[in-house]
Amino acid sequence: MNDLLVEFKVNTRIRPCSAHAFELNAGDELVVVDPQGQQVSDLVAFAKSDVREYLSSGRTLDYASKLWLSTGDLLYSNRSAPMFTILEDTCGRHDFTLAPCSREMFETIYGEKEERPGCEGNLEKVLEKYGIDRDCIPTAFNVFMNVGIDPSTGAIAVLPPLSKPGDFIRFKAEMDLVVGLTACSAGQSNNFSYKPIDFRIESPA
Amino acid sequence: MNDLLVEFKVNTRIRPCSAHAFELNAGDELVVVDPQGQQVSDLVAFAKSDVREYLSSGRTLDYASKLWLSTGDLLYSNRSAPMFTILEDTCGRHDFTLAPCSREMFETIYGEKEERPGCEGNLEKVLEKYGIDRDCIPTAFNVFMNVGIDPSTGAIAVLPPLSKPGDFIRFKAEMDLVVGLTACSAGQSNNFSYKPIDFRIESPA
């Protein structure tokens, strides 16, 4: 009967321009999938035991000694504790320098007047129940975001993501976590089309 | 008598491996000087009206569309409000990606066992009276810090600062601020010698 067994991997879909929040136990694996390609997903994380401990860009980049993280790299909290290990990564390019898109960012950079909440507003809404408000939302780990750097001037170019349909990144939680995850709402980051993001949590047997 | 008038510019000296905290009113100008050359100074800032609003690396780099900020650039808060304008900059290279050095960082990167507080611990101590604790200290604007980026791999190299003795950067405060400023304690950032930093505040007439 063994050859009739099928491993089901059920993803949860995050609709375009929205966010989900959920908890992970230490050891859980979080798989973030780009189902259609060229779609960014902002990831923020907080220690479940004390949400003032958060996933820190500045700490992580310092310890990694590189801007672009991938398989084998650790993501650290502001208190220098490992929060995630990247176990697999079929895309290979993500960003950890730019803040989540926001209403003010859309107005300043794109001249938008619609007052869309952006990843920041969407994360604020889903994380409220954990006592995490807007001021607690740090620079996110921007899954699939493709930021080019000019090494002579430091100029940043937000380019179309390198992710193809089905590309994924697998994180292992190194502590009990509260996580916020988005399907990003910023035009330039997503090659100007707003697409969904899928994720699933795999717990060790 | 006019040619006998002398403009005195009295600097305050921050001793090696320490920090100061002070307030700025909107419009005040903060001048940070490297008196001996090749010395980094970590700058953090908070809105005086609500210290949960802080100088944000992720917001600033996004709005500037560049990693390296200099004359004419604005530094933004996490709430997308301008906190500083850089009015003058005789050095031209600073960093805004790496977290302040800390006891844990010295242990992880350098294998130090002495438990030196680093910029993080020094800032924590001087900012405590403003209700700002360790978890509130974000990625700093690292004045004079020289971080090279490999554009193909994203690898970071912490290089000796480009600042020569007397080089300075002048910031204009765009709101009432609480500021923390250090003479940085990290070996590699300061070409392995710990030197002082000078600063002064010039208020408009």
* Residue keyed to tokens 């971080």: B147
Q: What percent of chain B has pLDDT over 70?
A: 96
Distance from CA of B151 to the nearest CA of A (A): 6
pLDDT digits (tens, 9 = 90+) for B174-200: 999 999 999 999 999 999 999 999 999
Question: Are the beta carbons of B116 and B103 closer than 8 angstroms?
Answer: yes
pLDDT digits (tens, 9 = 90+) for B46-105: 999 999 999 999 999 999 999 999 999 999 999 999 999 999 999 999 999 999 999 999
Q: A58: which chain B residues are within 8 Å (Cβ-Cβ)?
A: 57, 97-100, 138-140
Say how many Å lie between the first and final Cα of chain A, rounded.
21
Q: B155: which chain A residues are within 8 Å (Cβ-Cβ)?
A: 65-67
Distance from CA of A61 to the nearest CA of B (A): 6
Residue A4's pLDDT is what? 59
Within-domain flag for A125? yes
Q: B61: which chain A residues are within 8 Å (Cβ-Cβ)?
A: 97-99, 156
Chain B residues within 8 Å of chain A (Cβ atoms): 52-53, 56-59, 61-68, 78-80, 97-100, 102, 104-105, 108-109, 134-135, 138-140, 148-151, 153-157
Distance from CA of A73 to the nearest CA of B (A): 13
Per-residue confidence in pLDDT tens, chain A, 205 aa: 455 566 567 999 999 999 999 999 999 999 999 999 999 999 999 999 999 999 999 999 999 999 999 999 999 999 999 999 999 999 999 999 999 999 999 998 889 988 899 999 999 999 999 999 999 999 999 999 999 999 889 999 999 999 999 999 999 999 999 999 999 999 999 999 999 999 999 998 7
Within-domain flag for B12? no
Question: What is the 3-class SS of chain B, one letter each residue?
Answer: CHHHCCCCCCCEEECCCEEEEEEECCCCEEEEEECCCCCCEEEEEEECCEEEEEECHHHHHHHHCECCCCCCCEEEECCCCEEEEEEEECCCCCECCCCCCCHHHHHHHHCCCCCCCHHHHHHHHHHHHHCCCHHHCCCCEEECCEEEECCCCCEEEEECCCCCCCEEEEEEECCCEEEEEEECCCCHHHCCCCCCEEEEEECCC
The pair of three-digit structure tokens given for residue B87, joined into one six-digit string: 């009015």
B130-154 average pLDDT score? 96
Handedness of CA B175, B101, B92, B169 (dihedral sign): positive
Within-domain flag for B38? yes
Closest Cα partner for B38 from B192, B199, B198, B200?
A: B192
How is residue A55 annotated by DSSP?
Answer: B
Question: Alpha carbon of A62 to those of A131, A153, B130, B158, B199: distances in Å?
Answer: 28, 21, 27, 10, 26
Residue A119's pLDDT is what? 98
Residue B89's pLDDT is what? 98
Q: B62: which chain A residues are within 8 Å (Cβ-Cβ)?
A: 98-99, 105, 109
Which chain A residue's Cα is nearest to B106? A63
Task: Find the domain containing A167 and state its range.
Answer: 22-181
Rounded to whole angstroms, the Cα distance separating A124 from B121 reads 29
Residue B1's pLDDT is what? 45
Within-domain flag for A56? yes
Residue B3's pLDDT is what? 56
Of A52, A68, A79, the CB nearest to B154: A68
Question: Are the beta carbons of B195 and B38 closer than 8 angstroms?
Answer: yes
Of A79, A138, A149, the CB nearest to B149: A149
Distance from CA of B49 to the nearest CA of A (A): 14
Within-domain flag for A143? yes
Within-domain flag for A8? no
Within-domain flag for A100? yes
Question: Are the beta carbons of A112 and A93 closer than 8 angstroms?
Answer: no
Mean pLDDT (chain B) is 95
Within-domain flag for A164? yes
The 10 Å CB-count burial string (b at 16+, else e) for A111-137 is eeeeebbbbbbbbbebbeebebebbbb
Residue B186's pLDDT is what? 95
Instruction: Give me the number of domains chain B comprises.
Output: 1
